[in-house]
Structure formats: C-alpha cells, structure tokens
Chains A and B, each alone.
Chain A
C-alpha cells in the first residue's frame, strides 16, 4: 500500500497534487474509501413500491438498489456471478426478477439466484445456488429517507458515520412530510478528479463572487452584489467541518436568494419556520432559512436552497460522471416544486448558468497535474485556519464566514485517515483535530 502520510499536511490545509492525478493513489481510494465508506444510493421516494429499482455505482462498482416485497431496500453488485456480465441495463424500472442476457440466470429482487437454465440437464442439479447470489452491498441503511450503502460489514452505522452532519441535515430532513428527490437525474461528464467538485461544494464560498460573476449579474438575485467580490460580510455566514469529512457553508437568510423569482419560496419558508423552530430550536431554524453548500464524505454534494443534489461518480483518476437531482419538500405545492426544479436546472443543471462556470475550472485544476514537475507541487487551502475553532452551541469545527476553507480541511483530514488503511475502530480512538479557540 502506498504511504500516504505525507500527502496531506498542516491539518488538511496542504495537499500533494499527486492525489488528483496518480493512478496508484486512485486505486487505493477505490479500496480504502469507496470499498469502505457509506455512499449515497437513492432517496426512498425514487423506489416507493415493491420491485422498484434503480441502478447506480459505488466507486466503480455497478449496483442495483431494489425495494423488496417487505418494504426493505437491498443493494447488490450488478454483475452476474456466472461469467460476470452486467445483468440490468436500465436506469430504473419495476422488476420481479433480474435476468442475465448471456445465459439466462435469473435473480430475485434480493439478488439471490432464482433460476438457472438447464439446471437439471447440464448441472445435474449439483449447483449450490446460494453461493451464486449477486454480491450484496454489506449494509444498506436509510437516514430519514436518504439511502446509503457500504461494502464494509465492519463500518459504523450510517447514523454514526454521518455524525454531527446528521444533526445539521435534520434542518431540512425533519420538515413535516420529509423531502424527496425529483429526477430522472441529469448525467454528464467532467474530465476532473472526483475530489475537486467535492471540495468546491463543501467549502468554496471563495469562488462564488469571481467564477460566477456573469451568472450572478444575469440572474438579478439578492446574491448579485457578490459578483466580482464587490460585497462580502464575514458575519453573513459560517462554515462547519464535522468529524467524518462532511461539512458545509451557510449564508444566512439566503435559501431563496438564487431563485430569480423567489417570492413563493420565501413565503413557504416563512410559513414553515415556526414549525422548524419548535421542532429543532433557534439555531436550526436559522439554518433552515440559510443557503448551504455542502458535501457528505466521500462523493455526494448538495446546495440546500438552490436545491440541487449531486453525485460525483469516479471513472478513473481524471474523469467523473455528474448526476443531478432536485431536492424538494414533499409537502410543497406542485407549482413551487416546479419552480424549484426550474431554478436548479437553470443554475446547476447540465446547461446551468453556474454549473458551466464550475466544470471548466474543475477540469483545468485536474489537467494541469499532468505535468511531472507540476504534480510534485502542493496546493493550499489554509484560508481562515487561524480563526476557526469550537463553538458553544454548534458541533464540529466552525469557521467564520462563507469565504473560508474550514470544511475543505476537514474533508482532507478524513481522506488521509481512511487512506492510511487503519480500521474504523483505530480511527475513532485517535485524538481529533481540535483548535483551542472559541468562535462566536
């Protein structure tokens, strides 16, 4: 295994550029991160009925996620254990069985081998069917409708894995009626390393005013003054890195800010806020009205408010697929849901006005590391490190302002922990990064 101890330095603030380029580091990520960490599979609303399924990937492993007759959700690798063929080629659907196109082996909704052509005449009934089930995803759990899976039976529970991030995400998951993801997902590609968009969403409030200057001007939203960094107030938001590599930044009172006509959404928020305050308290009712950029370790990101939900699926060290859904509250009226979808598509869809700015930068940030000398350099995300600290009421490491790189450092600290190959148990016993400073 590659020694990764020198790749992330200064509590996550310095990254070796080889982590965005080298094939052997990428292979180690597939093994130490994507074969171990919990990854987003689906929202329960996508597969409401028995037999409903979607296909997705964990790392580069193809998986089927299927609703069982008893209502539970199972996931297994979408590859026939006979000769390896992909079994299901649809994005989604409803099935009673999954039948391989090569020799006709058929698997139940639970991935168990159900029928084998010529089982009697050619196998002489000697095949032990239970040995040839489709390889199961070891654990599948739902957190308030968000379904995740891990290949590692020894991984902590999903709730423990999400840790304090779950406490923050309850802000929008605990709304009456819950949430849903509207699709089908858009899919496109980027020639970038998978970590680049994750760090963009988890921490990068810095690029907003500059990279998105044109879009901010054109949209004429309350965020337009940010264009060209004309206006920035350090007290307009904060950033949080939670233990486990998750994190987000929030701009206060800006949930509806990117919507060209956010009136109906603002009314909705105003109506729901007293309920949320009652349920979750003052802080999280503030978060409910804020605009978030966020990532869940390793490769799921979202913008609460806008309301985009993203998966960055690795396809080698320099290529990803981008999958995009719209997150809405289930109880929103149909017209408001339509508006949420329209804004998400207009800003962060495949032809999105802001998505377009980001994709270009992500590709160029990756591609420059092709240079042998370039690749031996380091990158720096130390912004705000001298001011971050602990907060009396908020869990995690808290950084001041949305323009800050606190949660980027948290992401890379977790990356380094898992990449070292140490067990979950060992990692959890180690002392956490904890700046000895109180943040107001």
Chain B
C-alpha cells in the first residue's frame, strides 16, 4: 500500500457511521497507549498489516506561489518504512544496547481531532487525527512534537489494522535531537 505524502480531506468524504468511528478512535487511542508502554513487538505483530507503508516526509518552507509537491524528491523522508524496516527499528531497541534509552525515556502520546471516512478501497478507512508527543529524558531534557497524521485502516479477521500512515510534523527544523519513536 502506498501512503500519500500529503494529507488532504477528499472533496466528498463518505464519513463512517458512529460504530465504525468508535472503533477507529479506540484503535488509535489503544495503539498510542501500547506504544507509550513500549510494547513495540506486540504493536508490530498485532496492529500492522504486512504491506504497511509508514511515511514522514520532510517539508520545505516555500512561497505560496511555489506549487512543487511536497515529497516529490526521493530524498525527502524522515520515515519511509515498510514492515521489515519497522521490524529492524524495533530489533535495535530490543538489543538492550541502546544507551540513550537506558535509563528509560518517558514518552506520552496524545491523539485528538479524530475523524474517519471510507477509503477508495472497499472496506478500508482513512482516519485523520492530530497528535502531541511529549518526551522527557534524563534530568530535564524535555521536547514536544506536534503534528497530524492520516492513517489507512483495514479490517483483517474482524480486527482493524494499520495499512498506511502519513505523518506531518509541524516543524521545519525538528526541535529535538531525533524522531526515533513511533508517531
């Protein structure tokens, strides 16, 4: 599945029914808690489809008149990961040799403004949400990342799974030393 590099509400969104929206909200909120609790392997095994495309494009500051699309260049991604690459990132964390994660970081994810519409593929949903991720490390190292994301969800064996995610961070200069955490 190809995640888009831009986030845009479609012209005539077919918004989902109340039950589906509730399921989508629970999916995103429970996923955030799972990641806060560092259950990365479980996240990878149970929440993602194997054709997932997980994307965070680099945005440039351009004049409004400059209509060149974001992410048109192959070099423009902080994340451009498939299932295997996400696995590799998690394996790194599982080695126990990541010194900057020891002692542990505190990361807290907040998800809001959730909405969802049926996607152009039958039975799939596009979900939009905004996020704040707060990170506190060592004694007083504190950063906050703000942004928005569009998620493609697909029901597999009765359970929603993440098949695509496009993340936009609202900072041209990422005001943190890295973004090595899942958003």
Contacts of B61 on A, CB cut-off 8 Å? 89-91
Residue in chain B with minimal CB distance to A182: B75
Judged by a CB distance under 8 angstroms, whether A391 is at the interface is no
Residue in chain A with minimal CB distance to B81: A346
A352 and B178 contact, Cβ closer than 8 Å, known pairs A90-B66, A91-B172: yes
- What CA separation (Å) do A357 and B100 show in the bound complex? 7
A183-223 contacts to B, CB under 8 A, are 183-191, 211, 213-215, 217-219
Residue in chain B with minimal CB distance to A349: B78
Contacts of B79 on A, CB cut-off 8 Å? 345, 351
Contact of B177 among A189, A344, A349 (CB under 8 A): A189
Residue in chain B with minimal CB distance to A186: B58
A361 to chain B, nearest CB (A): 8
- What CA separation (Å) do A415 and B166 show in the bound complex? 44
Indicate if the CB atoms of B92 and A214 lie closer than 8 Å: yes
Judged by a CB distance under 8 angstroms, whether A248 is at the interface is no
Residue in chain B with minimal CB distance to A89: B61
Indicate if the CB atoms of B177 and A188 lie closer than 8 Å: yes
Contacts of B95 on A, CB cut-off 8 Å? 213-214, 217-218
- What CA separation (Å) do A269 and B77 show in the bound complex? 25
Indicate if the CB atoms of B92 and A218 lie closer than 8 Å: yes
- What CA separation (Å) do A219 and B96 show in the bound complex? 15
Number of chain A interface residues as a range: 35 or more
B87 to chain A, nearest CB (A): 9
Residue in chain A with minimal CB distance to B63: A90
Indicate if the CB atoms of A188 and B176 lie closer than 8 Å: yes
- What CA separation (Å) do A217 and B76 show in the bound complex? 26
Judged by a CB distance under 8 angstroms, whether B91 is at the interface is yes
B59 to chain A, nearest CB (A): 8
Residue in chain B with minimal CB distance to A362: B177
Judged by a CB distance under 8 angstroms, whether A260 is at the interface is yes
A182 and B73 contact, Cβ closer than 8 Å, known pairs A351-B78, A357-B100, A360-B100: yes
Contacts of B93 on A, CB cut-off 8 Å? 214
Q: Contact string, A326-363, partner B, CB cutoff 8 A, digits 1/0?
A: 10000000100110011011100111110111011001
Contacts of B98 on A, CB cut-off 8 Å? 214, 356-357
Indicate if the CB atoms of B60 and A92 lie closer than 8 Å: yes
Indicate if the CB atoms of A351 and B100 lie closer than 8 Å: no
- What CA separation (Å) do A91 and B63 show in the bound complex? 9
- What CA separation (Å) do A217 and B88 show in the bound complex? 10
Indicate if the CB atoms of A188 and B173 lie closer than 8 Å: yes
A360 and B99 contact, Cβ closer than 8 Å, known pairs A91-B60, A260-B88, A352-B178: yes
Contacts of A260 on B, CB cut-off 8 Å? 88
Residue in chain B with minimal CB distance to A327: B75
Judged by a CB distance under 8 angstroms, whether B127 is at the interface is no
Indicate if the CB atoms of B179 and A350 lie closer than 8 Å: yes
Can you report 6 residue pairs joining A to B where beta carbons are below 8 Å apart?
A: A91-B172, A188-B174, A189-B175, A213-B95, A260-B88, A357-B100
Q: Which residues of B contact A (CB under 8 A)?
A: 56, 58-63, 66, 73-81, 85, 88-89, 91-93, 95-100, 172-180
Nearest first, the 6 closest Cβ-Cβ pairs linking A and B are A182-B75, A218-B92, A214-B97, A360-B100, A359-B177, A188-B174
